[in-house]
């Protein structure tokens, strides 16, 4: 792969000598050969010139779901990895919500081999417990040796406090990262949306903010006792931000993420009972949304994620209470994030998180392996169903407007660009 990115403006606040500069970037055989004001390539090099082309070190998404194995009709690993690459991502953390779930080293090897070279680099999570049943720990050490970057029973809270204690203690022996979904199931019960004015008006069963906050408080207490590394995925309430901020000030090794939809929407969008807005954790209030945005800006929230989850149309085109949770997010991620925070902070957010998963960060310098995201941060972008790349089409962003557009990405394997 030999390409020349022509007249690209670089956004990389870790590289002060290049940040904000317009440069030609020549990539030969997957390695950055030259960065200069002007480069004359050889005849075997493909020249890429795009309107208002901006580049940055490759983006990462810390919560992505596909379907394979078991739910290939939602999304396959190969196609999903390509969708991620065309959406600007060079790396994704893959959730373990398949059938069967990946709870052995062999399962992790299958995922990595199937997705290798198909698009964005896929870094699988293994389950925390066998079969994600919440009873016995899975083969955590063996899975990490096989390539699992952390351990998570996807969207399932760790009900038994002692199990989380043992997991955190055990994982310290090999530097493992433990996920704990922030929800007390006994308080959430059969709720489907945020408990508040909207749920009361619509007659839908609510999930109180307390369900998230009491679980986080418990988990942080256990972490303070055991030590180890804890990640709390997709928080959604103002109090959750405060609890994690306090824990970090104590020196606890905790990180967290928020889903992009909890930064964009509130539960007021539910007035038409549109199941595309049914997500877990649920959309919350404007007060929660503002606290979450502040948490992203000040670094209390470590990562923003698409929480991308393809779902069959049959599982969404039913009554709200019976509909499956989840929305697409990869394709819309940048334009929504850019509309909230602007391009400089959006890119900084999109490149956060690799260190938490012990992954190498792409570097924009000569001699480094290529790992770049390509985009235009300007202009209005209308999100349509026809523009979605995923096999499933369950996006809550259809009909919404974002800012900018994504051209694609470059890895050492390939260049992935949208068709003109």
Domain edges within the chain = 2-55+365-378+402-417, 58-357
Confidence (pTM)? 0.96
Cα–Cα distance for residue pair 397/306, rounded to 1 Å:
12
CATH code, residues 2-55+365-378+402-417: 2.30.40.10
Backbone torsions φ then ψ of 99, nearest 5 degrees: -140, 105
Cα–Cα distance for residue pair 10/408, rounded to 1 Å:
15
pLDDT of residue 280: 98
Q: Summarize the confidence of residues 341-366 as an average pLDDT.
A: 97
3-53: pLDDT as tens digits: 999 999 999 999 999 999 999 999 999 999 999 999 998 889 999 999 999
SS3 207: strand
Report whether the peptide linkage leading into residue 282 is cis, meaning its omega lies within 30 degrees of zero.
Answer: no
Start-to-end Cα distance in the chain? 20
Cα–Cα distance for residue pair 87/408, rounded to 1 Å:
6
pLDDT of residue 105: 98
Q: Please list, in sequence order, all residues whose beta carbon lies within 8 angstroms of the beta carbon of residue 113, skipping any fewer than 6 positions away.
A: none
Backbone torsions φ then ψ of 202, nearest 5 degrees: -90, -10
Report whether the peptide linkage leading into residue 69 is cis, meaning its omega lies within 30 degrees of zero.
Answer: yes
Q: What is the DSSP secondary structure assignment for residue 41, as one 8-state letter?
A: -
**Cβ neighbourhood burial of 322 (10 Å; 0-12, 13-18, 19+):** exposed
Residue 74: is its pLDDT beyond 70? yes
pLDDT of residue 42: 87
From 77, 27, 93, select the one nearest 302 (Cα to Cα): 93
Strands 303-305 and 254-259, how do they pair?
parallel
Across the chain, mean pLDDT equals 97
Q: Summarize the confidence of residues 140-147 as an average pLDDT.
A: 98
pLDDT of residue 41: 86
Instruction: Return the C-alpha torsion angle 339, 343, 349, 350, nearest 10.
Output: 90
pLDDT of residue 43: 87
**Cβ neighbourhood burial of 218 (10 Å; 0-12, 13-18, 19+):** middle
pLDDT of residue 1: 77
Instruction: Return the C-alpha torsion angle 269, 271, 274, 275, nearest 10.
Output: 80
SS3 63: strand
From 333, 417, 408, 355, select the one nearest 90 (Cα to Cα): 408
Residues serving a catalytic function are: 307
Same fold: 2-55+365-378+402-417 with 58-357: no
From 18, 17, 60, 405, select the one nearest 8 (Cα to Cα): 18
SS3 46: strand
Beta bridge partners of 371: 411
Give the CATH fold of the 58-357 domain.
Answer: TIM Barrel (3.20.20)
Q: pLDDT band for position 369 (50/70/90)?
A: very high
Residue 420: is its pLDDT beyond 80? no
By 3-state DSSP, what share of the chain in percent is helix, strand and coil, each rounded to 5? Answer: 35, 25, 45
- Taking a C-beta distance cutoff of 8 angstroms, is the pair 295, 206 a contact? no
- Taking a C-beta distance cutoff of 8 angstroms, is the pair 22, 9 a contact? yes
From 52, 117, 59, 53, select the one nearest 88 (Cα to Cα): 59
- Taking a C-beta distance cutoff of 8 angstroms, is the pair 338, 404 a contact? yes
pLDDT of residue 84: 98
Q: What is the DSSP secondary structure assignment for residue 389, as one 8-state letter?
A: -
Cα–Cα distance for residue pair 169/179, rounded to 1 Å:
13
From 142, 135, 137, select the one nearest 127 (Cα to Cα): 137
Mutual orientation of helices 209-226 and 161-171 as an angle, nearest 10°? 40
């Amino acid at each position: 792969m030999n390409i020349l990115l022509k007249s690209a403006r670089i956004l990389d606040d870790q590289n002060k000598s290049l940040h904000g500069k317009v440069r030609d970037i020549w990539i030969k055989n997957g390695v950055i050969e030259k960065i200069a004001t002007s480069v004359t390539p050889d005849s075997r090099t493909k020249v890429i010139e795009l309107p208002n082309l901006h580049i940055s070190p490759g983006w990462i998404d810390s919560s992505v779901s596909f379907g394979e194995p078991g739910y290939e009709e939602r999304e396959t690993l190969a196609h999903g990895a390509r969708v991620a690459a065309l959406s600007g991502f060079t790396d994704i953390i893959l959730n373990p919500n398949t059938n069967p779930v990946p709870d052995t080293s062999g399962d992790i090897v299958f995922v990595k081999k199937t997705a290798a070279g198909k698009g964005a680099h896929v870094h699988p999570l293994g389950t925390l417990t066998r079969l994600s049943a919440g009873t016995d720990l899975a083969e955590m050490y063996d899975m990490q040796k096989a390539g699992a970057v952390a351990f998570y029973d996807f969207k399932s809270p760790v009900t038994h406090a002692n199990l989380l204690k043992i997991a955190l203690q055990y994982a310290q022996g090999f530097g493992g990262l433990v996920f704990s979904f922030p929800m007390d199931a006994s308080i959430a019960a059969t709720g489907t949306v945020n408990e508040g004015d909207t749920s009361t008006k619509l007659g839908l069963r609510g999930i109180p903010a307390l369900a998230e906050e009491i679980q986080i408080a418990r988990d942080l207490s256990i972490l303070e006792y055991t030590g180890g590394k804890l990640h709390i995925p997709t928080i959604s309430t103002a109090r959750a931000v405060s609890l994690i901020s306090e824990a970090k000030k104590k020196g606890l090794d905790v990180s967290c993420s928020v889903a992009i939809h909890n930064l964009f929407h509130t539960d007021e969008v539910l007035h038409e009972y549109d199941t595309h807005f049914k997500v877990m954790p649920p959309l919350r209030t404007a007060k929660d949304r503002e606290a979450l945005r502040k948490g992203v800006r000040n670094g209390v929230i470590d990562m923003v994620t698409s929480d991308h989850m393809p779902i069959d149309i049959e599982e969404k085109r039913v009554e709200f209470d019976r509909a499956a949770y989840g929305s697409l997010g990869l394709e819309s991620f940048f334009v929504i994030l850019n509309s909230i925070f602007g391009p400089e902070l959006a890119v900084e957010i999109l490149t956060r998180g690799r260190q938490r998963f012990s992954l190498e960060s792409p570097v924009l310098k000569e001699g480094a392996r290529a790992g770049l995201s390509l985009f235009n941060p300007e202009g209005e972008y209308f999100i349509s169903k026809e523009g979605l790349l995923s096999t499933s089409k369950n996006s809550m962003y259809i009909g919404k407007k974002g800012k900018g557009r994504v051209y694609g990405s470059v890895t050492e394997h390939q260049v992935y660009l949208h068709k003109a």
